[in-house]
A and B are shown apart, each in its own frame.
Chain A
């Protein structure tokens, strides 16, 4: 619901402010905001997953990653509800990208892989440093305004790292572009796939080091 009012508000307002057509901007904003709300709540809730599950972790042998999966699946269910917004906007503006839109599923899958290592890593650090979740949510707020989520990057920004080295922007693009234009921009995959591999390696190393300690810190 909140996402829908945001989509309409931002989509129509910014179209007027930036002198862009609503038909152009609103679908862009709709997909951007829906995916962003999935991304940001997965990260912030994932980071708190172990602290929240403290009483369970302290008396059962349940594996730690289970709680990250639980959080991601909960957010994926939320996302599935919000997909209605995207579908409605696409229908309204008669945007039919054809079968290439299925690339969006690949984008989502890659996002899931990246979110799971990020959540696991943040959750481990958050049990030791309890102020991390606040730092994360403040950072996410900043990222939201700095990233091309509800505005299109103007030509002047093309060289900025906000555009060419922004995992949040790339993650959103990997779903948005297939849906709106029926293409998967290759540079998003070139960025996100190595990030998934490196992220998982780092996380697995960190996990092996701290897995036993996490319960002690709770």
Chain B
């Protein structure tokens, strides 16, 4: 059974400007002397990307994440995907996770479309036998036909998105993490994609989607959570979304 428990999750990012990404410069500072280095150290800023987030979800929950840009929606999704380890607090995710956060993830531009489908399938945790069983379906869904034997770098961005989308959505997952409904391809493909995503959402036990579109959240989710400056509101039913938006932001109560 799929479930997600997040307790007091905090995440702090070190902020590094482009000028402090240089080892040469860093060593020079160290060589120049203690004083300079010390002031520089204390100026090291951190950003609290998530601040004591609590969340409990069980089977059947479809959660919409809302909040302005930079409020921590994607960071929370990445935490749940297992990419970021929590600085404080605790995250437990039971169930097979599929993340549709970035469609260009793990694409090798010089490999062919078919090779990339295989690569992405492996990354998603499929065995090569499972991929072999699915590859015809994926190829057909992408609608690219003979172009799949060409290197990905010769594709238009719409074609690349088709391959990535077709592969990512072919994994049966219990927990589906999605960032924004990514508009891909031409009208024809978008229609197909919509149908496929809807069926994927129905299959998944838990869905978490970050979006700015209230209508989309109303049509897909039964719960919403609002994020602001890394703080999260409590989870409420989707019918209370307007009320949630009208309330002061969760971060401002502190």
Name the residue in A59, A61, A128 with the highest tally of chain B Cβ atoms < 10 Å from its Cβ: A59
B23–A59 CB distance below 8 A: no
B21–A59 CB distance below 8 A: no
Q: How many A-B residue pairs have CB under 8 A?
A: 60
A131–B22 CB distance below 8 A: yes
A181 within 8 A of B: no
0 or 1 for each of A161-178: is its CB under 8 Å from B? (1 = yes): 000000000000000000
A213 within 8 A of B: yes
A128–B21 CB distance below 8 A: yes
The distance from the CB of A52 to the nearest CB of chain B, in whole angstroms, is 10
A201 within 8 A of B: no
The distance from the CB of A55 to the nearest CB of chain B, in whole angstroms, is 5
0 or 1 for each of B23-45: is its CB under 8 Å from A? (1 = yes): 11010000000000000000000
B237 within 8 A of A: no
Pick from B23, B83, B87, B99: contact of A135, CB below 8 A. B23
A61–B83 CB distance below 8 A: yes
User: How many interface residues does B have (CB within 8 Å)?
Assistant: 23
Minimum CB distance partner of B85 in chain A: A212
B196 within 8 A of A: no
Report Cα–Cα, A68/B238, bound state, in Å.
45
Report Cα–Cα, A217/B105, bound state, in Å.
18
A58–B83 CB distance below 8 A: yes
A129 within 8 A of B: yes
The answer to whether residues A216 and B84 also contact, given A60-B99, A62-B123 and a CB cut-off of 8 A, is yes
Instruction: Give the secondary structure class of B's interface.
Output: loop
A57 within 8 A of B: yes
0 or 1 for each of B73-93: is its CB under 8 Å from A? (1 = yes): 000011001111101000000
A179 within 8 A of B: no
Residues on B with C-beta less than 8 A from A128 are: 16, 21
B13 within 8 A of A: yes
A152 within 8 A of B: no
A-B contact pairs, 18 of them (CB 8 A): A58-B83, A59-B83, A59-B101, A60-B82, A60-B99, A61-B81, A61-B83, A128-B16, A128-B21, A130-B22, A131-B23, A131-B24, A132-B23, A212-B84, A215-B83, A215-B85, A216-B14, A217-B14
Q: Which 7 A-B pairs have the closest CB atoms?
A: A61-B82, A129-B23, A212-B85, A130-B21, A59-B101, A56-B106, A131-B22
